[in-house]
Amino acid sequence: MIPVEEKPEKTETAEKTPEEGVREEKIEVPREEWERLQEEVKTWKERALRYAAEVENLKKTFKREKEEFYRYALENVFRELLPSVDNLERALEAAEKSGEARSLVEGVALTLKGLISAMEKFGLTQFEVALGEAFNPHHHEALHVEETEEHPEGTVVRVYQKGYRLHDRVLRPALVAVAKRPATRQENNSGEEVKENGG
């Protein structure tokens, strides 16, 4: 038997200070019961530590998801603004070709610059595609394939629309035309021309 001290409960009628010598009762617990209780305490401590770690991990996950939500919360707003940027760019091109209304060109250019600058403050950036650059489906969207010998197959030969990124995520891929080798013609044994794709 292992002696265990049992402290008596305080009652309102018997309030004694330590100086008055409060008497503590001792009870005996069988060793098997003591060991079982110790094992149970150990199990509950481990479980409490595991739950505390899980709660901490949940807090970190919620914080990370919240930060990501706020980082990309303006994605739909930027999607709505992009057509305006496209229209301003087209207006600039048309005005420059006509050679008239220089002040209009300057005004539209300043407006476009200001709009792009405002969007960049929130993490939106344009990315331009160089002709001859390898087609990347994560950054480019192919409108069509163009037969050419000037550029290697699978590279960009024409850019129709710039691409945009929000932080490190592609918001809108660039619209491009992709190079393809021209078809070659060969004669078969009967003298008829047969069209074949090169490569």
Lowest average pLDDT, out of 10-19, 88-97, 152-161, goes to 10-19
Residue (of 103, 108, 80) closest to 93 by Cα position: 108
16 pLDDT more than 90: no
Do the bridges between strand 174-180 and strand 140-147 make them parallel or antiparallel, or are there none, so unpaired? parallel
pLDDT at residue 83 in the model? 84
Long-range contacts (CB closer than 8 Å, 24 or more residues apart) made by 33-37: 34/2, 34/4
Distance between CA 84 and CA 89 in Å, rounded? 9
HSE-CB of 137 using CA atoms within 13 angstroms: 0
Strand, helix or coil at 172? strand
Place of tokens 């476009």: 112
Distance between CA 36 and CA 29 in Å, rounded? 11
In tens, the pLDDT along 102-158 reads 777 777 888 888 888 888 888 889 988 888 889 988 899 898 898 888 888 888 988
64 pLDDT more than 80: yes
CA-only gyration radius of the chain, Å: 38
Q: Which domains does the chain have, with CATH numbers?
A: 124-187 (2.30.22.10)
